[in-house]
């Protein structure tokens, strides 16, 4: 009976120590929490100013007219100022994003340059008190669109991001930007 009591006491003490010790944030937990909070789908978008001659020239230089994604108005007069020089073809439709009405009034069209996906965690730095952590992770670009040629962004390069976490009674939570 005495032996059973000491074994039971040891189990209770061990359970108490495990329950009271700070929970360490690991890579898989951090990634799962970031995924939950990650707004999806996430795109890298770009505004195309359809009435801007410089934008039309970029589209031409990128070969988007030759490839059949846009139709450009090559000649225009002073009467055409402010009117669209760029029209999008059926082939470009998968890359056209919903554009706010105010932008559409000014001949602006949002296009998708790439999908942004969550990559891997590269490091976790936990505070000395064990109640907060900083996690570095990568975002990667996938489904890179033909319109990506009009920017200087390297979509083959991973994008390093940082997330801040706090430990609560119920576990780790991602801090909102305004809390940092």
Domain-located, residue 67: yes
Cβ contact 27:124 at 8 Å:
yes
| 66 lies in some domain | yes
Q: What tokens appear for 72 in the block?
A: 């450009």
DSSP-assigned beta bridge partners for residue 140: 117
Give the number of domains in the chain.
Answer: 1
Phi/psi at 96 (5° precision): -85, 130
In this prediction, residue 3 carries a pLDDT of: 53
Where does the pLDDT of residue 16 fall: very low under 50, low under 70, confident under 90, or very high at 90 and above? very low
Has residue 29 been placed in a domain? Answer: yes
Let me know if residue 127 belongs to a domain. Answer: yes
Q: What is the pLDDT of residues 78-93, one digit of tens each?
A: 776 778 999 999 999 9
- Domain of residue 58 covers 23-179
Residue 13's pLDDT is 42
Question: What's the mean pLDDT when you consider all of the chain?
Answer: 86
pLDDT tens figures, 80-133? 677 899 999 999 999 999 999 999 999 999 999 999 999 999 999 999 999 999
**Any domain includes 3:** no
Give me the residue label for tokens 């909070």: 37
Q: What is the pLDDT of residues 30-84, one digit of tens each?
A: 999 998 887 767 899 999 999 999 999 999 999 999 999 999 998 777 776 778 9
Q: Is the pLDDT of residue 23 over 90?
A: no
Residue 145 lies in a domain: yes
Please check whether residue 12 lies inside any domain of the structure.
Answer: no
pLDDT at position 55 is 95
Say how far apart CA 54 and CA 142 lie, in whole Å.
Answer: 28
Would you say residue 175 lies in a domain? yes
48 to 53, 103, 148: CA distances (angstroms): 11, 10, 12
Identify the pLDDT of residue 76.
75
Average pLDDT (6-28) is 57
The owner of tokens 């074994």 is 7
Residue pointed to by tokens 């490839």: 67
């Amino acid at each position: 009976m005495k032996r059973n009591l000491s074994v039971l006491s040891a189990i209770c003490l061990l359970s108490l120590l495990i329950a009271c010790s700070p929970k360490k944030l690991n890579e898989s937990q951090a990634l799962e929490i970031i995924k939950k909070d990650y707004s999806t789908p996430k795109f890298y978008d770009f505004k195309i100013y359809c009435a801007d001659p410089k934008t039309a020239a970029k589209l031409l230089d990128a070969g988007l007219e030759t490839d059949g994604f846009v139709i450009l108005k090559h000649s225009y007069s002073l009467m055409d100022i402010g009117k669209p020089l760029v029209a999008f073809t059926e082939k470009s439709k998968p890359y056209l994003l919903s554009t706010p009405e105010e932008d559409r009034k000014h001949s602006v069209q949002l296009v998708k340059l790439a999908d942004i996906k969550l990559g891997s965690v590269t490091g976790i730095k936990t505070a000395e008190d064990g109640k907060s952590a900083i996690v570095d992770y990568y975002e990667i670009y996938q489904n890179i669109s033909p319109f990506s040629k009009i920017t200087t962004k390297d979509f083959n390069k991973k994008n390093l991001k940082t997330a801040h976490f706090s430990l609560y009674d119920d576990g780790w939570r991602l801090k909102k930007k305004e809390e940092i």
